[in-house]
Amino acid sequence: MNASQPGWYTQPDGTMRYWDGMQWVGPPRPAWPQDAAPRPPAYGEPGHIQPYAAAGYPPPAGYAPPYGGVAPKNPGISLLASFFVPGLGTMINGEVGKGVAMLVLYVVGIPLAFVLIGIPLMFGVWIWGMIDAYTGAQNWNRRHGIWS
């Protein structure tokens, strides 16, 4: 009986074979180099990293909205739209609920004009719509930093 422990053993021809304690197992394979230099670490120490130089760009100038600029509302166009269709200029300015209310009041005033109460209602809504359209466009522009 052989008293050798199981493990890899170098053969006289330079190859290695595995001894399982009873017999040689598997085909021989090339021997590992014994004097191989240790591999360097994959990453350097964190303290050795040099910081990147700052880019040569000027600092940003002021605040820019993320979606780009806004188009101004033209008070004259809003006034003209409300001249022909009461409430339309207010709708153009983004106040759709108020514009629809003006239009509904104007339309309700048309049949009431036959009993004369609708004439002041229609005239009042028509004037209110034009004034609101003009001032609404100016206010929208001021809220967005556009002075007209």
Query: Residue 13: is it exposed, middle or buried by C-beta count within 10 angstroms (0-12/13-18/19+)?
Result: exposed
pLDDT value of residue 114: 86
- Cα–Cα distance for residue pair 19/50, rounded to 1 Å: 51
DSSP H helical ranges for 88-117: 88-92, 96-112
pLDDT value of residue 2: 55
With contact defined as beta carbons under 8 Å apart, do 97 and 138 qualify?
A: no
**31 Cβ contact list (under 8 Å, min separation 6):** 10, 14, 15, 16
pLDDT value of residue 83: 92
Q: What is the pTM of this model?
A: 0.50
Give pLDDT tens digits along the chain (148 positions).
556 788 888 888 878 888 888 888 888 887 766 566 667 767 666 655 666 666 666 666 666 555 667 788 888 999 999 999 999 999 999 899 999 999 999 999 888 888 888 889 899 999 999 999 999 999 888 888 877 5
b/e 104-122 (16+ beta carbons within 10 angstroms → b): ebbeebeeeeeeeebeebb
pLDDT value of residue 97: 93
